[in-house]
Amino acid sequence: MRGGRRWSTVVLAWSVVLASGCTATAPDAEPKPDALGTELAEPWPDRPVVDLRFDVAEDLGSVAGREVVEFTPDLDTCELVFRAWPNKPATADAGSSLTVTGVRVDGRDAGFREVAAGAPEDAPGTLVEVPLEECVAAGETLTAELRFDVVLGEEVDERVGTSSDAEVAWFATAFPLLAWERGRGWERGPAVPVAGETAVSEDFRLRSMEVAAPSGHEVLGAGQAEGTEDGPDGTTVHRFTAPAVRDVAVAVGDLDVSERTIGGVRVRVGLDRDVEEADGEDWLDQIEASTGDLVDLLGPFPYEDLWVVVLSSQSSGIEFPGAIQFGDVDPAERRGLVTHELAHMWFYGLVGNDQGEHPWLDESFATFAQVVADDDEPYVHGSDGDAPPVGGSMTYWAAEFERPSSTYYDTVYTLGGAALVEARDRAGHDAFDAALARYVAENAHTVAEPEDVRETFADLPEVLAVLRDVGALP
Which amino acid is present at 274? D
Measured distance CA(116)–CA(137) in Å, rounded: 28
Concatenated DSSP letters of 171-191: EES-S-EE-EETTTEE--PPP
User: Would you say 365 and 457 are in contact if contact means Cβ atoms under 8 Å apart?
Assistant: no
340 a known binding residue?
yes
Measured distance CA(301)–CA(303) in Å, rounded: 6
Q: For residue 178, report the phi and psi dihedrals to the nearest 5 degrees.
A: -60, 130
363 a known binding residue?
yes
Q: For residue 134, report the phi and psi dihedrals to the nearest 5 degrees.
A: -135, 140
CA separation, residue 404 to residues 193, 281, 293, 384 (Å): 8, 37, 32, 21
Measured distance CA(188)–CA(167) in Å, rounded: 36
User: Would you say 313 and 338 are in contact if contact means Cβ atoms under 8 Å apart?
Assistant: no
User: Would you say 96 and 151 are in contact if contact means Cβ atoms under 8 Å apart?
Assistant: yes
User: Would you say 253 and 167 are in contact if contact means Cβ atoms under 8 Å apart?
Assistant: yes
User: Would you say 61 and 126 are in contact if contact means Cβ atoms under 8 Å apart?
Assistant: no
Q: How many CA atoms lie within 13 A of 288 on its CB side?
A: 18
User: Would you say 287 and 265 are in contact if contact means Cβ atoms under 8 Å apart?
Assistant: no
User: Would you say 412 and 52 are in contact if contact means Cβ atoms under 8 Å apart?
Assistant: no
* Helices 360-374 & 280-298 angle (0-180, nearest 10): 100
List of residues 6+ apart from 423 with CB closer than 8 A? 432, 457, 460, 462, 463, 466, 467
List of residues 6+ apart from 132 with CB closer than 8 A? 77, 78, 79, 80, 105, 110, 142
Q: What is the CA radius of gyration of the chain?
A: 21
User: Would you say 228 and 266 are in contact if contact means Cβ atoms under 8 Å apart?
Assistant: no
Measured distance CA(244)–CA(72) in Å, rounded: 15
381 a known binding residue?
no
Which amino acid is present at 309? V
Q: Residues at the annotated binding site for Zn(2+)? A: 340, 344, 363
Q: Residues at the annotated binding site? A: 340, 344, 363
